[in-house]
Amino acid sequence: MGDKTVQIILLDGRTFRDDLIKVASQANKAKRHFYHLDYAPHTDPSVAFLGEQQWDWLGNELRRPADFRIIATGTQFGIEYNGYEAWANYPHEQERMVQLIKKTQANHLVFISGDVHYAEISKFEHPDSYPLYDVTASGLSQTCRFAAPNKKRIKGPIMDNNFGLLTVNFSDQRPQVMAEVWDIRGNQRVEHTIPFAEISFSKE
């Protein structure tokens, strides 16, 4: 993109991952959710999600110079725990990601994710980082009957088949990225603009 660099990082959330903890049916009844909880969060900080080899690689990647960064992860990063597969089931790894972004001072970073068969934009806020946006778009061929609770959701959910689009604008004095969700009939359903100044450790 001219003299600008966009870094795209694709994470592997399967190869090194330790098993998820299944929620017992008795616990589901006790919680009285309107849907069945599949998995519980890990409490053991030694349990792996990305694995040490991938963490080392990711740290090196985030230290590379880039004007905008996208981290693509198969499961949602920026949501609250909802009983489905997500980073929230490995809260210590989620925290490790925040601290790695802080340590490397990796500015202008946005997550993209899928998996849940609906679309939404989540805003993950942490005292040690700028807001970490997670743009979820899924799926193209399958839908879900409902969207799970998510207090970090700022746009959506879109329950129809959909796809996501990120448009990076470096030309303005204030660079920004626009996140969109479109349904398969060609209708824009979600639009949210994120100024680079909001997703940066430095004052811009």
Contact between residue 16 and residue 53 where contact means Cβ atoms under 8 Å apart: yes
Provide the pLDDT for residue 171: 87
Domain-embedded: residue 30: yes
Residues 6+ apart with CB under 8 A from 198: 130, 131
Cα–Cα distance between 149 and 79 in angstroms, integer?
9
144 within 8 A of 116, measured Cβ to Cβ? yes
Q: Does 204 fall in a domain?
A: no
Residue 36 lies in a domain: yes
| pLDDT digit string (tens) for the chain, length 204 residues | 579 999 999 999 999 999 999 998 756 655 656 788 899 999 999 999 999 999 999 999 999 999 999 999 999 999 999 999 999 999 999 999 999 999 999 999 999 999 999 999 999 999 999 999 999 999 889 999 999 999 999 999 999 999 999 999 998 789 999 999 999 999 999 999 999 999 999 877
- Could you give the number of structural domains in the chain? 1
pTM of the model: 0.94
Please give the residue range of the domain that contains residue 188. Answer: 6-199
What is the number of residues in the chain?
A: 204
